[in-house]
A = this chain, B = another copy of it.
Amino acid sequence: MKAAQPLTTVFGQSRSDSTRSAARAEGFDVLDTVESALERAREVDALVVLATPIPAFPQILDTVNRICPTVRLTDVGSIKGIVDDQVAEHAPAARFIGSHPMCGTQFSGWSASSADLFTDAVWVTALTENSAVADWSVVARLALAIGSRVVPADPRAHDDAVARISHLPHLLALTLAQVAQSGGALALALAAGSFADATRVAATRPELIRAMTEPNSEALIGATDELLGLLGVARGSLASSGSLRTLTENGHLARSAYESRSEQLGEFALSGADLIEELQSVGAAGGYVYAIEGDAKDPLVRVRYPDEV
C-alpha cells in the first residue's frame, strides 16, 4: 500500500524480492523471512494478516503454529469455510477471525497497491459460535481504520453468498462468451453493451478464476443447479407457450431488490454477551458495522441495517 499516514505500527513480509525492495523504498518496515516476521508478531502481540493464495495456507499456518501459536490472526482469502477448517487443523490455538475484503483490481504486485483500495469496500468478517469478541474487534477496527464497511457473516453463509453473486457470474460470463463465439464473426460483430457487460469478467486470467471458484465448489454447484433449474423452466415455457413472462417479471423484481438493497437502513448500537450472535444477524439482514467504540473485549458496536428487520 502506498504510504498513507500510519494509524499504528505496521510491518510486513513478502517472498518477492522486488516487493520487499519497493516497500522499503517507500519507508515500510519489511522483514526478510516469514519466520522473523512471525517472531516479531509474537513479541508485540500483533495482528497477523495472511495475504497469500489459499492453497499456500496450510504450510504457512504450520509455521504460525510453530512460532506464534496463539497469535491474533486473520486472512484475506475469498472463501471462508475452508479457511476456518484449515486453521482448526493447522493452527488451532490461533486467535483467528477470517476476513474477506471484497475489493481489488485485475493488477497484482506492489505497483498495483493503493491507499484507498479499501475505502467503502465491503470487508466480511467470518464469525462462528467459537469466535471471541476481543479477536473480532481487532480485525474489525483494522478494516474500519482503512475505510471499509464491516459485514459480519457465518463463514458458510458467506461462501454461499459469494457463489451466487461472484463465482456463478464468472461461470456464466465464460459460458456466454463461448456461445457467442460459436455464432461466428457476425455474432461478435453485432455484440454490444449487454454482451460486453455480461462477459467482462471472462477476461480475467483463467488461473485466477479457478483459484477463486474451485475451492468453493460445494456452494457453487448449488448455485449453478439453481440457475440451471430456473433457466430450464424458462426455456420450457418459451418452447411450449412462447412466453417468458415468469422469468422477466421475477428477474426484474430480483434486480430491483438488489438496486434498493441499501435503502432505509437504521442505525443501532450493540454490546453485551450476545454480541457475536447479534452481529451475525446484522450481516444476514444486509447490514454492516460502521464504528466500534470502547474496550476490545466489551466494545460498543455501531451498526446500520434495514429498519424493517
Contacts and interface: CB of A to CB of B under 8 A. Distances in A.
A268 interface: no
B250 A306 contact: no
A31 interface: no
Interface in A235-267: 235, 238-239, 242-245, 247-259, 261-262
Contacts of A225: 235
Interface stretch (A84-92, A125-133, A179-187): A179-187
A210 B178 contact: no
A247 B175 contact: yes
B206 A249 contact: yes
Contact of A203 (B171, B203, B234, B255): B255
Contacts of A272: none
A202 interface: yes
A190 B165 contact: yes
Nearest to A166: B194
A230 interface: yes
Contact of A254 (B181, B226, B247): B181
A160 B183 contact: yes
Contacts of A253: 181
A153 B207 CA distance: 37
A248 to B, nearest CB: 4
A149 to B, nearest CB: 9
A11 interface: no
B221 A188 contact: no
B247 A171 contact: yes
Interface stretch (A22-30, A60-68, A284-292): A284-292
A187 B161 contact: yes
A79 to B, nearest CB: 13
A206 B188 CA distance: 26
Given A198-B197, A202-B251, A235-B228, A176 B169 contact: yes
A253 to B, nearest CB: 8
A223 interface: yes
9 contacts: A161-B186, A161-B190, A164-B183, A175-B247, A203-B252, A203-B259, A209-B248, A210-B248, A213-B244
Query: Which 7 interchain pairs have the tightest Cβ spacing?
Result: A174-B251, A185-B286, A206-B248, A177-B254, A202-B255, A161-B187, A181-B254
